[in-house]
Amino acid sequence: MRPGMAQMSSVDSLAARLLSATLMFDRASLLALEALAAESDRRVLRRGEVLVREGDPSDRFFVVLSGRFTVHKGDGIGSVAEIAQGELVGEIGFFAGLPRTATVLAARDSIVLEISRNHFEKAAEALPNLREAVTTSLARRFATQSPILSRQKPAKIRTLAIIAAGGSRISPVFIGHLQQELGALTRAQFVSRHDVHAKFAGRPIDDQPVLNWLNELEAQAEFVVYVADEEPNEWTRVCIRQADTVLLVANASSSPRLNTSEELALSVHPPSTGRLVLIHDNRSAAVSGTSAWLDERPHVGQHHHVALEDASDIQRLVRFISCKARGFVAAGGGSLGSAHLGVYKAFVEAGARFDYLGGTSSGAAMMAGFARGLDAEQIDRGTHNVFVKSRAFRRPTLPRFALLDHKAFDRALREEYGDVLIEDLWLPFFALSTNLSSRQPHVHLRGKLWQAVRASGSLPGVLPPFFTADGDMLVDGAIMNNLPLEQMRELKTGPNVIVSFGSSGPQKYHVDYDRIPGRSELAVALLNPFGRARLPQVPSMLQV
């Protein structure tokens, strides 16, 4: 404990501001909160250290000054919630007198203000209004907000480490563009080893005053970007420890081999939260070779292609980093699928820019064209070539595997999409199909683009299923999910435009089942020019 409530520091002021921003303490005066902070202790935790353990007494609570924590319930390995700067830990149990309901671990190096019962009582004695303010706020919180374990959204990312990937160096041009675009969106602070040496000449990088300064930067700025060195030195290690997540940045033409700094970063941070950024000088040539980079980093969360000549690529990356990436989700719709072209074109002409495209069946086919960089007119011509000019849907076959000969359709798709791989697209894209082998939706994020479109639109009975090299049998994604919004939300955080041309409610068919004709009755009705009109209005196999 630090004696003397009069000994205020910048850290106490920071802690007071963070406390006042919470529902628990928003009725307390800043003076009272500064006194509480001065009376309390600061605690430093390294990644993996336990802050509180489930079942232990709630004899103190904490406010996160810097860092990030994960919440774990029972014996579960995965986390059920995340806690970031400015949030409280253990306050409900503290004031309610209940044991800890979960275990909280430091996800990275973190600093908390530790407020024991003795600390709180001393501050409350000096400032009687503090207890009443907290009680009022606590009651209001219970009435308006769910407990922490009910939260589903991850904590906001506030610190990022840029790590050189593969065999390349970090491009200073890329750093300059990123600094400009991120600074236009939020109050961002970029920190390199040179910045530290300029302020703390002669001090070791991992010296406590240096770490305290870095933590204060995080508290003052909305976003802190740590630019690591190319080699895995002490500064690179500090960057990795201080960051909420990592950005693996490389020149796309360099060696894709995983380097030592990356190995360190991916051992500290869950690979699924990391991003791989492949830098290109321009868009003059088609992207290739992305699969080699992903094979070396099979669990990395997402990858991005960035052309340094195009500011829109950097802007898109910034939206992903700041959890504001915009998605366009296109539902299947059969012959209505082409209508997606007009909707998308209207948004673009109005100034909208999308960062992730995805769809099911015909919606996937349309979005695949936009992800390739084509405009609506080019996609419309391609659609005409595939479905009309090729006559692919006018080639019936013996109904052993399907009604139509799939060879013509596959050939038309190959001609339209070529050998383009999903991972080589400039714009992130996914297609959704139904995996009958696993009885689960199947999200196509890698592989040949034409195959993803083919699988997503494999109408059962009309076309044979698509079979993967792993033995999975894939059919039309609309069977399980015609509007893959859930999949888009799993891939990125941010707003989405959702386009569907189907009915939003259940469809009812008022058909006399006994009037559905058998084989011979149907043949007679179809051969009779006047017989068709007398057939019951039953959806055809294609409509179903």
Cα–Cα distances (Å) from 383 to 195, 369, 380, in that order, read 54, 10, 5
Q: Please report the pLDDT score of residue 442 as a whole number.
A: 97
Whether residue 2 is predicted with pLDDT greater than 50 in this model: the reply is no
On average, the pLDDT of the chain sits at 86
Q: Judge contact between 428 and 276, C-beta under 8 A.
A: no
Whether residue 264 is predicted with pLDDT greater than 60 in this model: the reply is yes
- For domain 10-150, the question of CATH label 2.60.120.10 is answered with yes
Q: Please report the pLDDT score of residue 149 as a whole number.
A: 45
Q: Judge contact between 291 and 423, C-beta under 8 A.
A: yes
pLDDT tens for each residue of 80-118: 888 888 888 988 888 888 899 899 999 888 889 898 988
pLDDT tens for each residue of 417-435: 999 999 999 999 999 999 9
Does 159-321 match 10-150 at the fold level? no
Highest mean pLDDT pick, 219-223, 378-382, 515-519: 378-382
With H, G, I as helix, E, B as strand and everything else as coil, classify residue 44.
strand
pLDDT tens for each residue of 216-260: 888 778 899 999 999 999 999 999 988 989 999 999 999 999 999
DSSP strands (E only) in 384-526: 429-435, 440-444, 466-467, 473-476, 496-499
Q: Judge contact between 359 and 432, C-beta under 8 A.
A: yes
For residue 4, the tally of other CB atoms under 10 A from its CB is 9
Q: What CATH code is assigned to 327-499?
A: 3.40.1090.10
Bridge-based pairing state of the strands 245-251 and 159-164: parallel
Burial of 356 (0-12, 13-18, 19+ CB in 10 A): buried
Q: What CATH code is assigned to 159-321?
A: 3.40.50.300
Q: Cα dihedral sign for 509, 512, 517, 521? A: negative
Lowest model confidence (mean pLDDT) among 146-150, 183-187, 202-206:
146-150
Whether residue 294 is predicted with pLDDT greater than 80 in this model: the reply is yes
Q: Judge contact between 20 and 63, C-beta under 8 A.
A: no
What is the token pair recorded at 62?
């904490």
Residue 81 has φ and ψ, to the nearest 5°, of -165, 165
Q: Please report the pLDDT score of residue 508 as a whole number.
A: 76
Whether residue 26 is predicted with pLDDT greater than 80 in this model: the reply is no
Query: What is the pTM for the complete model shown?
Result: 0.82
Average the pLDDT over 196-211 and give the result. Answer: 88
Where along the chain do its domains lie? 10-150, 159-321, 327-499, 512-544
